[in-house]
Amino acid sequence: MQRKPKIIILGAGMSGIACALSLHDNFDVHIYEKSRGVGGRLCAKSLPNGVFHFGAQFCSAQTSSFQEFLTQNNAINFLGSSFDIKINSSIETKDYFVAENGMHTLLKNYEQHLNLNFNKKAIKIDERKKLVYFNSGYKESYDMIISSLPLPQAKEVFQSEIDHQATFNPCISVGMTLVGSPIYEHFGYKNINEDISWLGTSKFYNKKNAETWVLQFSPKASIAMMNDTDSLIQTRAEDGFKNIIKGKYTLIHSGIFRWKYALCSRSDLNNEYTCVSEDAFAIGDWNLSPRVESAYVSGSALGKYLTEKRL
């Protein structure tokens, strides 16, 4: 029986999982993820006061394949309405999709079907020896390697230069629990001011949730505050919150998440994936545009290419 080529994928976010799903029938696929679960920037944290979407708030589908993926993984439409303060207008949300228990659950079903290894952070790839080294001192050989990391992190681990100029902006997300009687018309608010990009209640993905909210600072504000104390960030978040949500209530601090590589720029190259060297590739939304679907398309496209190349 012919041995299946061994492929290592770094990262268990949307692009990494999508790529693995396209490859696992014809290759020996191993996924290594630095954190303790799937999701990547589909980050949702279960905290004592509820579930908080600290990463992508929702996604949309322009292709039938991604629409099918969302349907298979129990995605639902955004509940309620959203409002863009900058243009003073409601936003149509019928094409926004969410997951009731957190965006990361769109990928949770695959933990039992794919070879996933958590708490394994890659620090160096030796492309000549075909070895990947991890922060624990562990190393693993491969036939092909695929990075689904944000481009700046991919550039740190590969020896070969990656010819791509995508840039990333940071984002600080703040979770808050509300106790009392708030007054608001919409479940999400966008472009609030130059410092705050988003404010949304968890009820836009599950009306049964407690009154929990996530506020995301703009890239400019996030850069300025990245090294500030939690208490200072929380104070600024509360001040911004109270300018939008009226009524009598108390805010309880629930958590702060600092995203160093939150939002990628749109690529002018329009390549679905990047070839780093003969047996090394890089995938991710940054190859196309800052959308969850772009990550899915990138991973699926490389998986299809490698499968067709093998067959």
Angle, helices 64-72 vs 292-310, to 10°: value is 100
Distance CA 118, CA 310 (A): 28
Element (H, E) at 292: helix 292-310
Domains 6-40+107-165+266-310 and 45-104+167-264 agree in fold: no
> Is the separation of the CB atoms in 169 and 31 below 8 Å?
no
DSSP assignment of 247-269 equals EEEEEEEEEEEEEEEEEEPPPSS
Whether 196 and 172 have beta carbons less than 8 Å apart is answered as no
pLDDT tens track for 252-288? 988 999 999 999 999 998 899 999 999 999 999 999 9
Q: Which two tokens stand for residue 44?
A: 């949702």
CA 81 to each of CA 77, 178, 188, 193: distance values in angstroms, whole numbers, following the listed order: 11, 19, 7, 19
Lowest mean pLDDT among 45-54, 116-125, 298-307: 45-54
Q: How confident is the model over 173-225, as pLDDT tens digits?
A: 999 999 999 999 999 999 999 999 999 999 999 998 888 999 999 999 999 99
pLDDT reported for residue 311: 63
- Residues with Cβ < 8 Å from 169, sequence gap 6 or more? 219, 222, 223, 262, 263
Distances (CA, A) of 6 to 28, 37, 40, 125: 5, 22, 23, 15
- Tokens representing 269? 């190259």
CA geometry: angle at 104 spanning 182 and 26, to 5°? 165
Is the per-residue pLDDT at 232 higher than 90? yes
pLDDT at residue number 156: 96
Mean of pLDDT values over 158-184: 94
Sign of the Cα torsion 133, 157, 225, 233 reads negative
Would you say how long the chain is, in residues?
311
What pTM did the predictor assign?
Answer: 0.95
Q: Domain 6-40+107-165+266-310, CATH 3.40.1130.10 — does that match?
A: no
Query: Side by side, which strands form the sheet with 144-147?
Result: 116-117, 28-32, 6-10, 144-147, 280-282, 274-277
Q: Domains of the chain: which residue ranges?
A: 6-40+107-165+266-310, 45-104+167-264
Handedness of CA 43, 93, 195, 152 (dihedral sign): positive
> Which CATH number does the domain 45-104+167-264 belong to among 3.30.360.10, 3.90.660.10, 3.40.1440.60, 3.90.1150.10?
3.90.660.10
Cβ contact 175:214 at 8 Å: yes
pLDDT band at 87; cut points 50, 70, 90: very high
